[in-house]
Structure 1
Amino acid sequence: MYMFEVCAKCGHVGKNFYVDKIFVVRASSGKEAARVVRNFPRVKHHHKDAIRYVIRIDEARYWEVRRMNDMDPYFLCHSIQEQRQTCEITPLSEKVTEVCENEDTTSKKRFFEGKKAIRNPKKYYYRFDDKERYAA
């Protein structure tokens, strides 16, 4: 059995935010250590890049990180209210896919005039009187 230092993305700090935390694990390989840490509480399990890095370490570093984690207020709190009071964390932002500005996100319903599709029905309706609003 070897000792590994695994850095993972941890959550519960806000939507689209994370905190990098270091865990230490005894495992037979680096892949096994990463698999074990991915299933730890507070780690973002479903992210592809949840595991940042895995390093094989010696026993002195193992106990140093264990002591640091035992005193870390992020791991000691039991609720979000307690975390807000005791922890001073600066969460990192995840890249969020932005919605295209030109795309109409309010409705996915398509409008037609005969067989011709109308791209922007609001602009189309303003061109005609209320009596000729038969396109919808």
Structure 2
Amino acid sequence: MFRRILVVLEDAPSQHCVFNTALRFARANQAQLCLVDLRTNPAAIAHSLAEMAIGLGIQVDISELSEKTEQALIRTARNWYADLIVIGHALHPTLSPILPCTVLIVQQEQEHTISMTMQLRPQVPDGAVRNRLERLLDLTPSS
């Protein structure tokens, strides 16, 4: 399923949901994580999140971008061979044709409500999309 999950750390209220969702998928799929910090004032949080994931037996890379743009993010995902990008907002629609993988948008709407939306890369066949969505739903807590 998903073996290489790129996690985007941003200045967003749903940041913890983004990381926790990616962590859950990584554990379920025995996947590797790559943390990309796009925050305006990066701190040591990427390293502490990496340590948390490593403590759970997950292999983690940290990628620092010289340009904090969506295009640089896509280049990083392509170069790292990501299967999935987990992020807190939708990428700009003009980038859809060049997405190297599926994008999972995780947003915390209220304290106990999380919404997830997928931007699918154009080359994904319908059967693969259905299988991935079913797997995501299996991993998503109902409460």
Q: TM-score, normalised by structure 2?
A: 0.28
**Higher Cα Rg: structure 1 or 2?**
1
Return the structure number with greater helix share. Answer: 2
